[in-house]
Structure 1
Amino acid sequence: MMPRLALFCAPMLVALSLGGVAAHAAEPVAGRWVTAEKDGVILIAPCGKAVCGTIDRFLVPPPEGPDQRDINNPDAKLRNRKLLGLPILTGFVADGELWRGRIYDPKSGRTYRSVIRRKGANVLEVKGCIGPFCQTQVWKKVS
């Protein structure tokens, strides 16, 4: 009788112990964030089923002023887009504690794989990667 009870209880105990481990969800990243270089504010908000970020405001005017265009874009058809309002974070979806998507750098015209995560109430860690090589920046919440 005891071995049968042990066989019945063991799977239940395993299921209960696994159920007690909560999966960590990615913290919300929506809001206005000052870039690491302190030259602009990025507005992060939902866009469809994902989260995206656009250039909301310049803190340091670009060389051509507030009407600056996306002149470094490798796609000639996109070079006439204004930087103000330009999407630079696209397709971010929650993946555990992180958000994964793509980041566009208008200064270089390059797009990178990206991971973002909250590091407290007022800090956002933004990582851009090419292959195994990544660079991390810290953005601060606009107060």
Structure 2
Amino acid sequence: MNEKSELCEKYRKFAVERLQSDYEEMIKAVNCIVDEVKEYETLLLFINKIKVLDSEEPLKTQTNIGKNIFCEAVIDKWDRVIVKLLDDVYAELSLERAEDFITKKIELLSERAAFYERETHSIRARIHLILSSVKQLESL
């Protein structure tokens, strides 16, 4: 009886400590990817809005300089934008090229988020399976 309870506790501890931490890491990864997708979607929306404007006139806008403090800005040349390619790698792209890049990047990030979500569900299912098996084992 003692050996059975030790074994049950071992599996319960594994499910709670190891698998739960893996689950939380996956959730964080999904949230980071979703935040990045939102940033790219915001930039894509901005690009679509400025494409219809006359590029000869300066663009007046408000810019967030941190902690939701905004200042007015005037952009003289706005036929190009700076886009984040990877972690700390940025490139100045034309509006059309940036639009293509952002669309593909959103697709890739969405696929990655879907993969991590599937992994999250898999880990959650393993936790549930182990804990329910431990309950059944204890009731024997």
TM-score, normalised via structure 2 length: 0.31
Q: Which has the larger radius of gyration?
A: 2
Point out which structure has higher relative CO (alpha carbons under 8 A, 6+ apart): 2
More strand by share: 1
